[in-house]
Amino acid sequence: MAGSGAVEVQKKHPKIRKDDKVIVIAGKEKGKIGGVLKIDSEKGRVLVEKVNMVKRHSKPSMQTGQGGIIEKEAPLNISNVMIVCNKCTEPTRIESRRLEDGSKVRVCKKCGEPIDD
Ligand SMILES: [Zn+2]
């Protein structure tokens, strides 16, 4: 269908930011909710608190003299998470709305409330 015309479906990333609450909607971590720790918008990846934990071996450090296994979050594909609205507590899509003073707010498409406090 390449070059078929004017209609171009743009799949925009949800406007997820650090500290947003998100729910995983696909993959083995499906259903888990956590706060966004880090976003890599170039790679389309997101790091979510306590989600997609992987075990890593840490080398013994000079300070503690011991190594061990530590658990750490591994990045998820950003399209596998959805923002959870803190007003209606539903996984939702968000849209940007411009206020009269020109500032932008992110609004929950389900309940219409701004999700930023
Ligand atoms: Zn809502």
Looking at residue 8, its pLDDT comes to 46
- Cα end-to-end distance, the chain, whole Å: 43
Q: What is the pLDDT of residues 15-42, one digit of tens each?
A: 899 999 999 999 999 999 999 999 998 9
Distance (Å) from CA 89 to ligand 1 centroid: 6
State which residues of the chain have pLDDT below 70.
1-14, 117
Q: How far is the CA of 112 from the centre of ligand 1 (A)?
A: 6
Query: Which pair of structure tokens corresponds to residue 50?
Result: 């306590």
The pLDDT, as a whole number, for residue 10 is 44
- pLDDT averaged over every residue in the chain: 87
Burial class (CB in 10 A: 0-12, 13-18, 19+), 24: buried
Instruction: Name the 3-class secondary structure at 46.
Output: strand
Paired residues of 96 in beta bridges: 106
Measure 64 CA to ligand 1 centroid, in angstroms: 46
pLDDT at 14: 52
CB atoms within 10 A of CB 105: 14
